[in-house]
Structure 1
Amino acid sequence: MSELRELVPAVIGVLVRRGADFASAEDAVQEALISAVAAKEPPHELKAWLIAVAWRKFLDAVRAEKSRRERELAVDAEPRGGPVPATDDTLRLYFLCAHPSLPPGAAVALTLRAVGGLTTRQIARAYLVPEATMAQRITRAKRRVADVRLDEPGDLATVLRVLYLVFNEGYGGDVDLAAEAIRLARQLAALSAEPEAAGLLALMLLHHARRASRTGPGGRLVPLAEQDRGLWDTALIAEGVTVLQTALSRDRLGEYQAQAAIAALHADAPTAAETDWPQIVEWYDELVRLTDSPVVRLNRAVALCEADGPGRAFAALADLDPSLPRYTAVLAHLHERAGNLADAADLYVEAARAATSEAEHAHLTRQAARLRHDGR
């Protein structure tokens, strides 16, 4: 099935060049994939077979719509068989699916379907929504990009952001979205010479390497400092570091490369106590320069606390909006490091009330209980 999914962008591209619009081509390819899965014996030339079947599906759909006779006449003559063009349309489809006119959720769903080759049912299960809801989301997305030509230039930053959204969706249903995002990011990094594409891949690999250690029994959240580093995937870490070094050597620093550098420093530390916090602060300084993001500034305050103590970290929080997500949890951590255990416990309780997941709520509640027990 993975081989089939990897062929999807190329097959869609062939149909579009033959005259099909993107939405119709994508539908036809999905039907061809179903036929391929149902076949008792896989065809020898899988790509050519998929193109032939998808093209017939497209022609059948055109002929079935009586109101579109003019278009039928334009595409009625089926091309003769022959070698399949070697043109790779994967990168163009990335740009189309991450078109600026699409809201993030729609762009993610369309990317998973058209580039990832997932079915609507698989995507719906991964997002824990009804299949009909996901079908409507994908249909609306395809309508939005119906008139966008496949050869129009796209925005790489938007593509990277969509892939990062896919990665951060977590794991659910019968599709591992994090693993799927890494698969797609590998494709993109191979197709694009932009160092940020490699930077995003490195970031995903380094974060994914710690996956097995992030949760304990019953889904209990395990903070980075408490994770069992023996569970970290050293092969993924080594690959991520290599990809990152190649990206950094191009001397065009971007935010994904800087984030990956921070993740690499965490991965390189044998223990939490041996983490190179001063260098992590320097990378956060670069991230602030690149993004000026309040979230980055908040994370930098945590790094400052670890590197220099809570004093400078409190000062770093002074310019940030207290309504920022995780602000109260970070403030609680700083008070704990400063020895203000009662204040820290109260802040952990407040942060737990604002938590967006049950795991985070339980973790912050445990932190408050621990401090109140220690403060007796």
Structure 2
Amino acid sequence: PSRWTSTSSRRPPSSSPPPRPPAGDPRTEPSLRVDGCVDRGDFRLEVSLRVGPGEVLGVLGPNGAGKSTLLRALAGLTALTSGSIHLGDVALDDVSGETFVPPQRRPVGLVFQNYRLFPHLDVLDNVAFAPRSQGASRRRSRELAGSWLERFSIRELASRRPAQVSGGQAQRVALARALAGQPHLLLLDEPLAAMDARTRLDVRTTLRRHLADFTGPVVLVTHDPLEAMVMADRLLVIEHGRVVQEGAPAQVARRPATDYVARLVGLNLYAGRSDPGTGTVALDDGGSLVATTDAALVGDRVLVVLRPSAITLHTEQPEHSSSRNVWPGTVDSLELLTDRVRVQVVGRPSALVDVTPAAVAELRLQPGQDVWLTAKATEAEAYPDVTRG
């Protein structure tokens, strides 16, 4: 028998939630498995993913990629068009099996971007809402809520209303409320987006520590690459409704599969075909680069990644350069990025180049200026392009 009540019909059943078991240890917590599609008008989300107990999956993607649709499907706010969602052995949504568990009956905790705390309730009763909605008495619900406030070090906020707490405090209240319901799956929708930069930095560390104590799978939807890199154990990148890359944060950052991912991590990415015997990659958009290429990739479709800091900028064509990659370009724009200036150079290929503010002054760089770029072959890494044949 399953641990959670589901329904054999796609029609929503009674809204009364089933009793939830206490959270188990990480060895017995369920894994999340999703293989399905959601059609919404002309848009289709098609995704396959696995999240293990205690694992944090960071979901990245541009606006309109399908991140929110995925989250809504997991929460039960949007039904699958085909396929299934399983949490352990329990089907939360299975189209072929005609099973659909509505949101209020799913063992899922959801933290929204704007937290959605109840403005008419104080902090204690906001957190107590979760166990109370599951049938616990008012007294027991408030006892459980108090223990969660202690755990999140916000016990002193118990009598305050949401309007009287800071953004970081509201985020902890929302997370405490989600966990007070003893969920087996935790969904986080842009949990730090509503905070200013300073608060976000402080709360990110605190949130990661709390997530480490949660034994079930966690799905974190974010547009912030740093947030994903710091908080997630594994990344899933969605573009145009499909998964384009998946892997450990370091792997995704080192070998981006698409221009979107490359821009997120601040790298130049070029697609092309490796040339037999020379290590040269003929680029799709014109030009070529000599790159460090595995012999097995010769003649295959590859991607070449090149860090902006690995490119040297010259105002005149360099003579006797030791770099195997030398090409002309024109400065398109300059942007100050804290301690460096990022120069956008149009050429074959175009490139982002990082230089110091002192170099900008010394070279008198400005838009429209003709320049030369150099890069060592050892700095350009080629790897298989799995997105194209």
TM-score, length basis structure 1: 0.28
TM-score, length basis structure 2: 0.28
- Which one has the bigger strand percentage? 2
More relative contact order, 1 or 2 (CA 8 Å, 6+ apart) = 2
